Structure 1
């Protein structure tokens, strides 16, 4: 399954170096959850991601506060694509199963 959506990049911990994430829209999260089969550790789901010209394999992780999933966006991707905190990016996400 594959989805394309936009989401805002945010810092997990605003007090220094931290991970950057984006939150999947709830309707996408529901479909990912329904189609994921048996989740990996911590309820994560393995995915392929494309932002701009960068493609990588990672996992999305459940976010109890929102009922969605969080997608980590590593520094090398942010640097390559010129992404800063608060930017809205277009994401193509595909489950690996």
Structure 2
């Protein structure tokens, strides 16, 4: 399954700051519908991510009824992304690195 959307970049300040793209409600509902078939535990869903000229594999994390796409610093810097930006993302679900 492939999903494309524009997502909000958010920063979560825990013990260390983490940056994510929040998957919108409609797409999160589509992911949730197939999540039992794809999860490898704790509700995490393996995905391939395309954002600008960057592509990588990671896992979506469930949070408050939606999913979060982790954004590593290297990809944020390569694509010029900051917290509070809105970015176009394409996810391919079920892809493991």
What is the TM-score when the length of structure 2 is the normalising length? 0.88
What is the RMSD computed on CA atoms of the aligned residues?
1.7
1:23-34 alignment, distance < 5 Å: 23-34=22-33
In structure 1, the residue matched to 2:4 is 4
Where has structure 1 moved over 2 Å in runs of 4 or more? none
Offset of 1:94 from its aligned partner? 0.9
Number of aligned residue pairs: give it: 94
1:1-97 alignment, distance < 5 Å: 1-13=1-13, 17-36=16-35, 37-64=37-64, 67-96=65-94
* Partners of 1:89 and 1:44 in 2: CA distance: 22
* Partners of 1:43 and 1:96 in 2: CA distance: 13
> Higher strand proportion, which one?
2
User: Where in structure 2 are there 5+ consecutive unaligned residues?
Assistant: none
What is the TM-score when the length of structure 1 is the normalising length? 0.88
* Partners of 2:21 and 2:93 in 1: CA distance: 16
User: Where in structure 1 are there 5+ consecutive unaligned residues?
Assistant: none
User: In structure 2, the residue corresponding to 1:70 is in which secondary structure?
Assistant: strand
